[in-house]
Amino acid sequence: MKKNVNFVLYAFIALLFYSCGGNDDDSVQIVTDPVVTVPEKKNTIGVTGDIFPTTALFRGRIEQKEGQVEVPGFVYSTSPNPTKGNNPSVDTYTTGTTDYKVTVTGLLPATTYYVRGYIKTGEGKYTYTSETTFKTTGYFGTSGAYVGYDKGEYKDGWRYMEIHPQKVYYGTSAQGANWGDLNIYISGTLHDFGKGLENSTLIANNNPGANCAAKVCLDLVRGGVSDWFLPSSEELLTLSKELKKANISLALGGSSIWTSTQKNENSAFDVTFQMNGDIISTDMVKPQNMIVLPVRRY
């Protein structure tokens, strides 16, 4: 038994000397856990859209690790290079890489604004995106009409929509024009914002009578342009309400204005300016002689 113990002891000592010896190329490698680096967040600003006299839609995009949370925002001012210190701002909650958008209200009509996106660093400091600019609507366009809406970019062939405050008439009418003829249903006239031109073309092609609000608008040459049409119900209602916020009234209380949206074979929708100041969508029989205001998009 003693011999066995001695043998094991000698073997261990020999192994120890062998491990400590060796040539100069021997080295000890220490393996540690790799350091996981979190990609830096990237925040970019997009095109400001849906611009009206007092509101606009800010857009941005943040790129960050999946599951990460951030509260990006926008700071804006009527002076360049706005910062969070003393300028209004809006923000939103995001998770992971995503596009985001925030509607801002309380803007001044016909005013140029400067916008920057931002995020807050772990040290409590703000980092900013590049700067963009936009102008709220409620100003006169080149044709002498009010610019009421701005997409912020050209899309589907147009960017701006404007409405002319001067009425158009059929013949010697002192009021305006009829919507069209009775007992004719014209399929496809929509309420949607952006569909007024298509509605007007459908009406002109399918209503035989000349006393027709859509035809009067399509035939109009005013302000050096000839691309006028009768607005859809949502176009006229939206422009009327939004321009009112810029103290621009398109009609007196008690007045009604035709739209290019049909209700049925005998009536169509109009926008009524009530005596109490409300602006609402109503309907009237097609042969009624009412105010016609042309719009255009470009």
Give domain status of residue 1, yes or no.
no
Structural domain range at position 59: 42-135
The reply to whether 256 and 277 lie within a common domain is yes
Q: Report phi then psi at 43, rounded to 5.
A: -120, 125
Same-domain check for residues 101 and 211: no
The residues near 271 (Cβ < 8 Å, ≥ 6 apart) are 233, 236, 237, 240, 256, 257, 259, 279, 280, 281, 282
Pair (129, 158) in one structural domain = no
pLDDT at position 173? 77
Q: Are residues 106 and 178 in the same domain?
A: no
14 lies in some domain = no
Q: Looking at the structure, do residues 150 and 256 belong to the same domain, yes or no? A: yes
Determine the pLDDT at residue 208: 98
Position 25 in a domain:
no
Inter-CA distances, 157 with 57, 147, 167, Å: 20, 17, 26
pLDDT at 174: 80
Lowest mean pLDDT among 2-16, 112-126, 139-153: 2-16
Residues 204 and 265 occupy one common structural domain: yes
What is the predicted pLDDT for the residue at 45?
98
15: in domain: no
Buried b (16+ CB within 10 A) or exposed e, 3-23: eeeeeeeeeeeeeeeeeeeee
**Do residues 153 and 53 share a domain?**
no
**Structure tokens belonging to residue 250:** 């398109």
- Record the tokens describing residue 279, joined without a space: 């602006």
Q: Which of 85 and 88 is assigned the larger pLDDT?
A: 88
- Three-state DSSP class for residue 140: strand
What's the mean per-residue pLDDT of the chain? 90
Which of 284, 282, 274, 279 minimizes the C-alpha distance to 253? 274
Helix (H) or strand (E) holding 160: strand 158-163
Q: Tell me, what DSSP letter sits at residue 48?
A: -
C-alpha 144/C-alpha 118 separation (Å) is: 38
Residue ending a domain, among 135, 166, 201, is 135
Confidence of residue 123 (pLDDT cuts 50, 70, 90): confident
What is residue 38's predicted lDDT score, i.e. its pLDDT? 52
pLDDT at residue 20 is higher than 50: no
Q: How confident is the model over 260-283, as pLDDT tens digits?
A: 999 999 999 999 999 999 999 999
Same domain, 116 and 146: no
In this predicted structure, the answer to whether residue 108 has a pLDDT above a threshold of 90 is yes
Q: How far apart are CA 237 and CA 81, in angstroms?
A: 36
Q: Which is nearest to 211 in space by CA: 293, 284, 294, 289?
A: 289
Residue 223 placed within a domain: yes
Q: Is residue 36 part of a domain?
A: no
87-102 pLDDT per residue, tens: 999 999 999 999 999 9
Q: Quick one: 149 and 88 in the same domain?
A: no
Q: What is the pLDDT of residue 122?
A: 79
Q: Out of 25-39, 191-205, 281-295, which region has the weakest mean confidence (pLDDT)?
A: 25-39
- Domain match, 273 and 226 both: yes
pLDDT at 7: 44
Higher pLDDT, 39 or 104: 104
Whether residue 22 has pLDDT greater than 90: no
Domain for residue 6, yes or no? no
Q: What is the mean pLDDT of residues 57-72?
A: 96
40 Cβ contact partners less than 8 Å away, ≥ 6 residues apart:
none
Q: What pLDDT score was predicted for residue 6?
A: 46
Number of domains in the chain: 2
- Model pLDDT, residue 30: 46
> Cβ(118)–Cβ(75) under 8 Å?
yes
Q: Of 135, 169, 190, which residue sits at a domain end?
A: 135
Element (H, E) at 153: strand 146-155
For the cut 50, the answer to whether the pLDDT of residue 13 exceeds it is no
Domain boundary, last residue among 135, 159, 179: 135
Please indicate, yes or no, whether residues 46 and 67 belong to a single structural domain of this protein. yes
Task: Return the CATH number at 125.
Answer: 2.60.40.10
Higher pLDDT: 140 or 124? It is 140
Residues 77 and 200 in one domain: no
In a domain, residue 19? The reply is no
Q: Are 195 and 276 in contact (CB under 8 A)?
A: no
pLDDT at position 27 over 80: no
